[in-house]
Amino acid sequence: MLRAALDEAGYPDVAVMAYSAKYASAFYGPFRDAAGSAPQFGDRKTYQMDPASSVRQAMAETRLDVEEGADYIIVKPALSYMDIMSKTRAQFEQPIVAYNVSGEYAMVKAAAQNGWIDEKKIVMEIMTGFVRAGADMILTYHAIDVARWLKEDAR
């Protein structure tokens, strides 16, 4: 087990974050374009779950990661898979990490720039949804804006 191997090697304080529920999603597009990381051949479906896969598969993958010593469970992308996050929260004790990816961020930014939405209200609603679905942590490109808004609202 990974946890035991880290402990035995003298790294008891190293946390393991597992991409337990990582889907082969079109929401990764903006990051892949910016990083030039599109697959040179084939696709990532050999190691990422099909977006249409069952909750049962996500729970099985998560269970395997937990058995191997995962300290945190990542659900990625977060917005389209809040149902998976909720089911994961119900079945596992490990902290859940909502990974709000580049495509989710880009949609909000584009809509806000076009004046179609209130960016702050939408972003805060999304963050609240992640927490309500079971997230203990949120990884998001909106982090700086959220921190600023929370600080302004606290005044």
CATH, residue 123: 3.20.20.70
Considering the domain boundaries, does residue 9 fall inside one? Answer: no
What pLDDT was estimated at residue 100? 94
- Looking at residue 32, its amino acid is R
* 129 in a structural domain: yes
Burial (0-12, 13-18, 19+ Cβ within 10 Å), 134 = buried
pLDDT(72) > 90:
yes
* Among 22, 45, 87, 109, the one annotated catalytic: 22
HSE-up (13 A, CA, CB side) for residue 96: 29
Residue 39: predicted pLDDT: 53
In this prediction, residues 102-131 reach a mean pLDDT of: 95
Question: Is 76 an annotated catalytic residue?
Answer: yes
Residue 4 covered by a domain? no
Residue 109 appears among annotated catalytic residues: no
**Coil vs helix vs strand at 23:** strand
Confidence check: pLDDT of 44 > 60: no
Indicate if the pLDDT at residue 128 is higher than 80: yes
Question: 3 falls in which pLDDT band (50, 70, 90)?
Answer: confident
For residues 86 and 92, give the distance between their C-alpha atoms in angstroms, rounded to a whole number. 10
8-26 CB burial, b ≥16 within 10 A, e <16 = eeeeeeeeebbbbbbbebe
Would you say residue 1 lies in a domain?
Answer: no
What is the number of domains present in the chain? 1
Q: Evaluate whether residue 21 is within a structural domain.
A: yes
- In terms of residue numbers, what domain contains 45? 17-154
**Residue 46 binned pLDDT confidence (cut-offs 50, 70, 90):** low
Active-site residue (options: 76, 87, 109, 151): 76
Q: Is 11 within a domain?
A: no
pLDDT at 42: 44
pLDDT at position 71, please?
94
- pTM over 0.85? The answer is no
pLDDT band at 29 (very low <50, low <70, confident <90, very high): low
